[in-house]
Amino acid sequence: MKRTFAVAAAALALTTSLVFAAGIDTAAIDRSTAPGTDFWQYANGTWMKNHPIPADRSSYGVGAVMVEQANKRTVDLIQQASRGAKPGSDAQKVGDYYASFMDEKGIEAKGIAPLKPLLAKVDGITDRTTLASYLGGALRADVDIMNATDLYTDNIFGLWTSPPMDNPATYAPYLLQGGLGMPDREYYLSDSDAMKKARTQYVAHIAAVLKLAGIADADAKAARIMALEMKIAQTHATRADTNDVQKGNNPWARADFPKKAPGLDWTAYLTAAGLNDQPRFIVWQPTAVVGISKLVASQSIADWKDYLTFHVIDHYSGYLPKAFVDERFAFYGTALEGTPQIRARWKRAVDATNEALGEVVGKLYVAKYFPASAKAELERMVANIVAEYGKRIDALSWMAPSTKAEAKRKLQGLRVGIAYPDRWRDYSRLEDVRGDAIGNVIRSEEFEYRYRVARLGKPVDRGEWVMTPQTVNAVNLPILNSLNFPAAILQPPFFDPKASAAVNYGGIGAVIGHEISHSFDDQGAQFDAAGHLRNWWTDADLKQFQAAGAALAAQFDTYKPFPDLSVNGKQTLSENIADLAGLGASYDAYRTSLDGKPAPTIGGFTGDQQFFLAYAQSWCTYLRDAALRQRLISDGHAPAHYRALTVRNLDPWYAAFAVKQGDALYLAPDKRVRVW
C-alpha cells in the first residue's frame, strides 16, 4: 500500500520573514507557549499568526510555501520548454497542454460543445447491456489502491494495476468502489448536521450544473441523481474496512463476477473496458461491487442516464467555461472546504499539466533543480537510518529471533528511489492538440488507462515511481518493498547541506524514517520482504505489536479538534506508527552521526532541541474548519497539529525541553508508546 507523507516544509527563497538558526525558523516560535503545553503551537505559533490562510486555499503552512515554489519553477520550465519546441516532441506536448488550459477565450467560445461526443454516448444507452458497455468504457485508472488517501473516483468503479498480494511477480487488475460525487460515504449516511448540510448543498450543485448545460427539469433530475448516489453510498465499504488489506485482498476469477455480483452484464462491461480476457481480479470492496451491480439492474435506465450525464459534465467542468468552473469551486472548494477564492488559473494549469505529463515535466525539473551531489548525500542518510532501524529491531526484547530475522530481511531488501526514476515514461503515443483543452484531458486519461492495462500479466518493475519529481511528498510501496523521495521535497530547509545534522535528521531524516517505517506499520508489517501478504510473526510477537498499536490509536483518539468530532486513532494508525518509529530511528541516526562528540549549540538551541523543533516545524500546517472536518472523516493522516505531538512518546524530548509531570503533554514513561 502506498502511504504518503503529507509534508510540511518551507523554502527560504520564497519569504524574508523566516529567521533561521541552523535551519530552525526562530521567528516562527511562539515563546508564550511552553513546549510541554503544546509543542506544535510552541514551534509554529508565531508563523501561523503572521501567515493567515490565503483566500484561495483551504489550508496553509510552510508545506504550501514549498509547493508554491515547485509550481513557480514548474510553470517557468513548461513555458521555456515549449518555445521553439520540435513538433511532436514532449516539450511541445507540455506547452500545448498548458496553453490549451490557459486559453480561456477559446474555452468560452466553444461552450459545452467539446463534451457532446461523450454526452451522445450516454444518450445512446437504451438497455442494461448498452448501460454496462458504457460503464465499462468509462473505467479509468483514476484511483490508487496503494494510497488510502486517494481512493476517490466518480466512475462507478476504478481500476488500479499492481502486483497481487499472494504472488507479487506480475501486474494484476484491482477493482475499487466509486460512483459518488462527494468525498466519502459518510457524507451521504451520517446524521451529523454538517453532513446533512453538505447533502443539501450537493443537490443544489447537481441542479446548477444541469441548468448550466441547458438540461431541462434540472431540479427533479438532481433529486433523483442524489437518491441513486445515496443507494450507491450504502453499498460502499467504510474507510476502516478499505484501509484493511486483509479485507481488501479478495481474488475473483473472471467467471466469479456473474455469480457473485449479478445484475451487471459483466461480459459487456469487461469487454468495453478491455479486460474480458483477464483471468483474475482483486476486488477491494466486494460489498460495493455486489451492491452497485444490483443497482445497475434495479434502477431505471432514465435515472442512470441522468446520473451519468451529470457526472460527465461535472468531471470535466474545470476545462469548461467560467460558469462551470465557478459552480464546481463553489461546492467543492467553498461548501466542502471553506475556501473563499479559487486559485489562479496558471496554478490550476500547472496541476493539470503535471497530471497528464508528469514525468516529462519532472525530467525538466530535476535537470535544473536537483544536483547529483545532493542525491549522494541523501543516499548516505537513508543508509544511516536503515542501519539504525536494524539496531532498533535487534534491541526489541519482546520479539522472537525468527520474527527479527524476517524483519531484518525486509529492511535489507528495501529499494530506495531518490529524486527521480531511473527510467522515464514514454509519452510518444499521447496526442495533444493546441486549443483542445477537453480533448487533451480525455486523451490523457485514456492514455494512462491503456498504459496500466497494457502491463497486466507482465513482470513487475520494482523501480516504478508513483509520484513525479516535482511532487512535494514521499511514498512507501510495501508490495514492491520500495520507497520514493521526489526531488521537490529534498530542498531547504527540509534538507540543506548547510544546515546542522540535527535539523536535517529532524526534517528529511524523519521523512525517510517515516517511509521506512511504513514497511512495519499495522498494514505494511503484514507483507514480507518479497511483497507477499504473509504472516511472518509469532503469535506472541503479533499480540505485542498489536497492543502497542492499540495504545497509539487510543492516544490519538483523545485529540478532539471539534466538540463533536475527534481524530480517529484506528483510521490514522498506519501514519501514526510511521511517524513514531521513523522519528525514533532518525533521532538515533542523528546521535550516531555525532561520533560521540557533543552536538553544537546553535542560535541558543541544543542539538536535541534543533532536532525536535525541525520535526515540529515540518508540521506547520493548519486548515479551515470545513476542510479539517473533511480530513478527519476521509483522510488516513491525522491533522498536522497532532502529528507534531508524536514527540511526547520519545524520552529525549522530555530532557531537551524540561517537560515535567503536570505539563499537558506529559506522559509517564510507562504510557509512552514504543512500537519499533
Q: Which tens digit of pLDDT belongs to each residue from 43-69?
A: 999 999 999 999 999 999 988 999 999
Taking only the tens place, the pLDDT of each residue in 247-279 is 999 999 999 999 999 999 999 999 999 999 999
pLDDT at 145: 43
Q: Tell me which of 449 and 144 has the higher pLDDT.
A: 449
Q: What is the pLDDT of residue 18?
A: 38
Domains, the chain, ranges and CATH? 3-73+373-421+489-671 (3.40.390.10), 112-319 (1.10.1380.10)
Q: Is residue 8 pLDDT above 70, yes or no?
A: no
Q: What mean pLDDT is predicted for residues 379-390?
A: 94
Spatial separation of the C-alpha atoms in residues 667 and 69, rounded to whole Å: 39
Q: How far apart are CA 613 and CA 15, in angstroms?
A: 19
Q: Which residues contact 570 (CB under 8 A, 6 or more apart)?
A: 240, 553
Find the mean pLDDT for residues 580-584. Answer: 96
Handedness of CA 47, 48, 51, 56 (dihedral sign): positive
Contact predicate 419/366, CB 8 Å: yes
Chain-centre distance for alpha carbon 210 = 31
Q: Report residue 93's pLDDT band, with 50, 70 and 90 as the boundaries.
A: very high
Distance CA(343)–CA(632), nearest Å, equals 24
Q: Return the closest-CA partner of residue 341 out of 351, 361, 326, 356.
A: 326
Average pLDDT over residues 197-208: 98
Q: What is the DSSP letter of 156?
A: S
Residue 150 pLDDT > 60, yes or no?
no
Q: What is the DSSP letter of 562?
A: B
pLDDT, average across residues 466-473 = 93
Q: Write down the pLDDT at residue 143.
A: 59
| pLDDT per position as a tens digit, 480-494 | 899 999 999 998 778
Other beta carbons less than 10 A from residue 492's beta carbon: 20
For residue 81, what pLDDT is reported?
84
Q: What is the pLDDT of residue 12?
A: 24
| Mean pLDDT of all residues belonging to the chain | 92
Q: Which residues contact 318 (CB under 8 A, 6 or more apart)?
A: 325, 328, 348, 352
* Mean pLDDT, range 467-488, rounded to an integer: 92
Cell numbers standing for residue 20: 533561521
Q: Cell triple for residue 525?
A: 508489517
User: Residue 152: pLDDT above 90?
Assistant: no
Residue 9 confidence (pLDDT): 28
Q: Contact at 8 Å (CB) between 529 and 410?
A: yes
Helix and strand element counts for the chain (H, E)? 29, 12
Using CA atoms, how far apart are residues 638 and 576, in angstroms rounded to an integer? Answer: 8
Distance (Å, whole) CA 276 – CA 120: 25
What is the per-residue pLDDT across 12-39, written as a single tens digit (0 to 9) for each? 222 223 344 557 999 999 999 999 999 9
Query: Which of 455, 520, 536, 510 lies closest to 481 in space, CA to CA?
Result: 520
d(CA 293, CA 181): 18
> Quick one: 598 exposed, middle or buried, by C-beta within 10 A (0-12, 13-18, 19+)?
exposed
Span 427-453, pLDDT tens digits: 999 999 999 999 999 999 999 999 999
Q: Model's pTM, two decimal places?
A: 0.88
- Residue 432 CA to residue 454 CA, distance in Å, equals 21
The C-alpha cell that represents 412 in the structure block: 535489507
